[in-house]
Every structure is written in structure tokens, then in C-alpha cells.
């Protein structure tokens, strides 16, 4: 299991390849990538703030849960912070399991928990000004299914 | 203890962290103390349903004890992913 919090970009292809090479017992590898999308008014920059002391441990706790619950061979979480532009990758998760159902479910679980239990806050700056992205009730509700 | 603020809580209060000498028994008692300080604190803590809190970097409820706590952080609901 690997959890990385960084401000620099990551290479999705390189990370996925490296992850897959270490998972010889897995027939299924799922990756998800979150990308900065444009918004009405044109996004100048998305700033991601985080809680340095807590981020790493919160992500590790979530990843550990996923690994044990779905018997994953391995899991990877990379999450960036700092200023990001449209099209840049914010984060990725990868899961490796014997079969695809476990890999897909574990990746969804990771994403649902990352959204509302990892201490990151997004702020969108457009030509109209800056606004903190509000958490959606649906994101909190999504945790109930697990 | 150290009290940390993130995102709009940090902006509203005007600083990212501060040292607070408090004998508050619970998180909610600390919130009441801070609310009583100045208008900017009262504004930031007006609606605690819009806030989350971590004690020593673990997400907790507002009725959690502060006994032995070294670090308390207040922030809005998280928007990771």
C-alpha cells in the first residue's frame, strides 16, 4: 500500500505501470483519476488546501480499510495540493484484486471516503472571484452504502 | 493547546493557527469560549453544523473531551478527491 501527498504533478501512466508490476496475483487493476474541470466563468486556478499533519494518516487509514475489506493485493493513493489549472490531475487511486468486482468496489469506496474524510479543501478562482467548493450532501450520503 | 483553522474558517478568523490557554472540558466548551472573544470568531462559529473538528488530527464530534488534547482544528466539510 502506498499513499502519497504532494504538490507536484504525477505521471498516470508511469504510476499505473509501476503499480501493476508489483501485483502478480491480481487479475484486475482499477484506476481512477480526478481531473480539474472548467467551470462557468472560466476557471483560472483551483487551489487545494490541506491539513499537513493529518492528511497522510487519514489517507492511510482509508486505504488500510479498503485493503482489508476487499482483500486487495495492493492499493495506491496519490493526492495533490496547491494551485492547479484546468486539465491537471488532482489525484488517483489504484486497486489490485484477484477479480474485477473487488477492485472496482474498493476503488469506489476509496473515492467516497477521500471526498469527505480526507482533509482537503478546494477553492475555485474565476474571473468573478474566488469561492470555496461546498461539500455536497450526496457525498456524505454516499458513505452510508459502505 | 494549538488551535488550527482551515479554508473559510481560517479566512474568517484571519489566522491559520494560534496558541489558546483554555480549561474547556469539551470541544463545544472551547467553541463557546472562542465565540465570546470577538465578532470574527462569533461569525466563524455561528453555525457549527457547517463545521467539522479534529482533535489531535482525528475527526471527532463536538461533544468530545479535550482532556490532554494538544491540537484542535476547525474546518468546513472536506472536499477531497
B50 has a chain A CB within 8 A of its CB: no
Q: Residue A90 in contact with residue A35, Cβ under 8 Å?
A: yes
Cβ distance B71 to A134 less than 8 Å, yes or no, reads no
Average pLDDT score over chain B: 97
Q: Is the pLDDT of residue A40 over 90?
A: no
Q: Is the pLDDT of residue A41 over 90?
A: no
Quote the domain boundaries for residue A57: 2-133
A27 or A40: whose pLDDT is higher?
A27
CA–CA separation, A103 vs A109, rounded Å? 10
- Chain B contacts of A122, Cβ < 8 Å? 79
Q: Which one of B57, B75, B79 has the shortest CB-CB distance to A122?
A: B79
pLDDT at B65: 98
Q: CA of B72, closest CA in chain A: separation in Å?
A: 11
Q: Is the pLDDT of residue A49 over 90?
A: yes
Is A143 a member of any domain? no
Q: Specify the CATH superfamily of domain B2-75.
A: Beta-grasp domain (3.10.20.30)
Question: What's the pLDDT band for A47 if we cut at 50, 70, 90?
Answer: very high
Cβ distance A120 to B79 less than 8 Å, yes or no, reads yes
pLDDT at A118: 97
In angstroms, what is the C-alpha Rg of chain A? 16
> ipTM, 2 decimals?
0.95
Mean pLDDT check: name the lowest of A131-140, B1-10, B49-58, B65-74: A131-140
Tens of pLDDT, residues A50-79: 999 899 999 999 999 999 999 999 999 999
pLDDT, mean of residues A5-31: 97
DSSP labels for A48-110?
Answer: EEE-HHHHHHHHHHHHHHHHHHTT-SEEEEEEE-EEE-TT-EEEEEEEEESSHHHHHHHHHHH
Q: Find, in chain A, the residue whose alpha carbon is nearest to that of B79.
A: A121
Is A102 a member of any domain? yes
User: Three cell numbers at A29?
Assistant: 487493476
Angle at B14 between CA B9 and CA B16, to 5 degrees: 70
pLDDT, mean of residues A6-22: 97
CATH number at residue A111: 3.90.1170.40
What are the boundaries of each domain within chain B?
2-75
Q: What percent of chain A has pLDDT over 70?
A: 100
Is A139 a member of any domain? no
Amino acid at each position: 500500500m502506498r499513499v502519497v501527498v504532494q504538490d507536484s504533478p504525477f505521471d498516470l501512466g508511469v504510476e499505473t505501470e509501476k503499480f501493476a508490476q508489483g501485483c502478480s496475483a491480481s487479475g484486475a487493476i482499477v484506476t481512477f483519476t480526478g481531473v480539474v474541470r472548467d467551470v462557468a466563468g472560466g476557471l483560472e486556478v483551483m487551489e487545494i488546501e490541506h491539513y499537513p499533519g493529518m492528511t497522510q494518516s487519514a489517507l492511510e487509514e482509508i486505504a488500510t480499510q479498503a485493503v482489508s475489506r476487499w482483500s486487495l493485493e495492493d492499493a495506491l493513493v496519490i493526492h495533490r495540493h496547491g494551485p492547479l489549472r484546468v486539465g491537471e490531475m488532482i489525484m488517483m487511486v489504484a486497486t489490485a484484486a484477484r477479480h474485477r468486482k473487488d477492485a472496482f468496489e474498493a476503488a469506489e469506496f476509496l473515492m467516497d471516503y477521500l471526498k469527505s474524510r480526507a482533509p482537503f479543501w478546494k477553492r475555485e478562482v474565476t474571473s468573478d472571484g474566488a469561492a470555496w467548493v461546498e461539500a455536497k450532501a450526496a457525498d456524505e450520503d454516499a458513505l452510508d452504502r459502505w | 493547546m494549538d488551535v488550527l483553522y482551515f479554508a473559510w474558517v481560517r479566512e474568517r478568523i484571519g489566522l491559520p493557527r494560534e496558541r489558546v490557554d483554555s480549561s474547556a472540558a469539551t470541544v463545544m466548551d472551547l467553541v463557546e469560549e472562542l465565540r465570546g472573544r470577538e465578532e470574527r470568531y462569533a461569525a466563524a462559529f455561528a453555525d457549527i453544523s457547517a463545521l467539522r473538528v479534529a482533535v489531535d488530527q482525528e475527526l471527532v464530534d463536538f461533544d468530545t473531551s479535550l482532556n490532554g488534547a494538544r491540537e484542535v482544528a476547525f474546518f468546513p466539510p472536506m472536499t477531497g478527491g
